[in-house]
C-alpha cells in the first residue's frame, strides 16, 4: 500500500485504523491537532499506544494551516490518504458553527487540494449517516436524496462529498466517501451516548432520553468500521468516485440500548424523558448492499456483545475515564 496519511489519528476511528495498518507493517503518518472538544488526554493516550510502533510518525498540526499541510506532503510523500479528522457532533454544531466551517470545510479543501497536487492514488474520507437528514425511507441507500440536512454538521459532511465529486470529475482523483453509522466501542468518544449514559448511570445522575426514547440508531461496532475502511483503502473494485454506507444494518431503539447499559453496569438509569433535540433524526438504518459487494463488508458484532466490551474497557480504565469526566464537568 505504501505510506498512508491518516488525519485524526488520535481520534476514535483514526486511532483504530492506524493501529490496524501499523500492525500489518504499513508506514502511517498520523496528523491530529489534539483539540479540546473532549479531553486531549484521551487522544494522547491513544497516540501513546501508536508511538510503540516504529513505523508510526505522529504530527501535531491543524489542517486549517495550509503551509503545514503542504510541508507534510512534501516531506513524507504519502501515497494514500484516510481523512477522518473533523469537528464531530450534531449538537455542538448548534452552538459553535465556526468550528465546523474551519475543520470540516477549510481543512477538507486544504487536504484534498494537496492530495490532487501531489498525485495521491486514493483519497478515502469519513462522511456520516447524518447526511440522510430527515429521510423516512428505510434503510438508507447511497442513492437516496440527501439535500435536506437537519444540522450544520450534516451539511458540512454533505459538502465534503460534493467537493470530492468535483475533484474526481475535474482532476481524476479517486475519492471514496464512507458514511459511518453511530460508531461505538472501547477507546470511544466521550460525547457519544454510550459513554455519557454509562457515566451517568454509574454516578447516579439523570440522563436525558430525547424523543421520549423512540429514536433508533444503527449502532456499529468499531471493528466493523475498521474492516470497512481498510477494504476501502485496498480494494480494486472501486470506481473513481464512490459513496458507501458502513453500518450494522440493525437499528436498535434507544430504550433497548439503555437497558443493555443498565444490565452491564448493574444499576438502573435515572431517566428524564424529553422531546426531540434540534438537529437529531428519529432513526438511522444502513443499506449495506454496496459495502458487501465492493468491500466484502459484513457486520458480525451484535450490540449486546459490543456494549459489553465497551463497559469492560471503561471499568478497566478508571483513571483515564475519571480525567474525561473531570474535563467534561470543568468545561460545561
The span from the CA of 22 to the CA of 58, in Å, is 12
Q: How far apart are CA 168 and CA 300, in angstroms?
A: 33
Q: Which phi and psi angles does 77 have, rounded to 5°?
A: 50, 55
> Is residue 87 within a helix (H) or strand (E), and if so which, with residue range?
none
Rama region for 88: left / alpha / beta (φ>0; ψ in -120 to 50; rest): beta
Alpha helices, H only, the chain: 12-23, 40-50, 66-76, 92-95, 97-100, 107-117, 152-171, 193-202, 222-234, 254-265, 289-295, 303-316, 318-330
Q: Active-site residue 165, yes or no? A: no
Closest CA to 224 of 182, 195, 255, 265: 182
Nearest in space to 45 (alpha carbons), one of 59, 60, 34 = 34
At residue 282, the 3 state secondary structure works out as coil
Please name which of 266, 248, 257 lies closest in space to residue 304, comparing C-alpha atoms: 257
Provide the b/e sequence for 62-88 (b: ≥16 CB within 10 Å).
Answer: bbbeeebbeebbeeeebbbbbbbbbbb
Q: Mapping DSSP to helix (H, G, I), strand (E, B) and coil, where does residue 83 land?
A: strand
Out of 153, 221, 285, 314, the active site residue is: 153
- DSSP structural state of residue 213: G
In terms of residues, how long is the chain?
A: 332
DSSP 28-70: EEEEE---SSS-HHHHHHHHHHHTTSTTEEEEE--TT-HHHHH
Which residues are known catalytic residues?
A: 153
Amino acid at each position: 500500500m505504501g505510506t498512508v496519511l491518516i488525519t485524526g489519528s488520535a481520534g476514535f476511528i483514526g486511532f483504530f485504523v492506524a493501529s490496524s495498518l501499523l500492525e500489518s507493517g504499513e508506514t502511517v503518518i498520523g496528523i491530529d491537532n489534539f483539540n479540546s472538544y473532549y479531553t486531549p488526554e484521551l487522544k494522547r493516550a491513544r497516540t501513546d499506544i501508536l508511538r510503540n510502533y516504529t513505523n508510526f510518525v505522529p504530527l501535531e498540526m491543524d489542517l486549517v494551516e495550509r503551509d503545514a499541510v503542504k510541508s507534510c506532503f512534501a516531506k513524507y510523500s504519502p501515497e494514500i490518504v484516510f481523512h477522518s479528522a473533523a469537528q464531530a457532533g450534531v449538537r455542538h454544531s448548534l452552538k459553535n458553527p465556526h468550528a465546523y466551517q474551519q475543520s470540516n470545510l477549510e481543512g477538507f479543501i486544504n487536504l484534498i487540494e494537496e492530495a490532487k497536487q501531489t498525485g495521491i492514488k486514493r483519497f478515502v474520507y469519513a462522511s456520516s449517516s447524518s447526511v440522510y437528514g430527515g429521510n423516512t425511507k428505510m434503510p438508507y441507500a447511497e442513492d437516496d436524496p440527501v439535500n435536506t440536512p437537519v444540522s450544520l454538521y450534516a451539511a458540512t459532511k454533505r459538502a465534503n462529498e460534493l467537493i470530492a465529486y468535483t475533484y474526481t470529475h475535474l482532476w481524476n482523483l479517486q475519492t471514496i466517501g464512507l458514511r459511518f453509522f453511530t460508531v461505538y466501542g472501547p477507546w470511544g468518544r466521550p460525547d457519544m451516548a454510550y459513554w455519557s449514559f454509562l457515566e451517568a448511570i454509574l454516578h447516579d445522575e439523570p440522563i436525558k432520553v430525547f424523543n421520549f426514547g423512540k429514536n433508533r440508531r444503527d449502532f456499529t461496532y468499531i471493528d466493523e468500521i475498521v474492516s470497512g475502511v481498510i477494504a476501502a483503502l485496498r480494494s480494486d473494485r472501486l470506481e473513481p468516485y464512490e459513496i458507501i454506507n458502513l453500518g450494522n444494518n440493525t437499528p436498535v431503539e434507544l430504550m433497548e440500548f439503555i437497558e443493555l447499559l443498565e444490565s452491564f453496569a448493574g444499576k438502573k438509569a435515572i431517566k428524564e424523558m424529553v422531546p426531540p433535540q434540534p438537529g437529531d433524526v428519529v432513526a438511522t438504518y444502513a443499506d449495506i448492499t454496496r459495502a458487501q459487494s465492493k468491500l466484502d463488508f459484513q457486520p458480525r458484532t451484535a450490540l449486546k456483545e459490543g456494549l459489553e466490551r465497551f463497559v469492560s474497557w471503561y471499568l478497566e480504565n478508571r483513571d483515564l475515564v475519571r480525567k474525561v469526566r473531570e474535563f467534561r464537568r470543568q468545561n460545561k
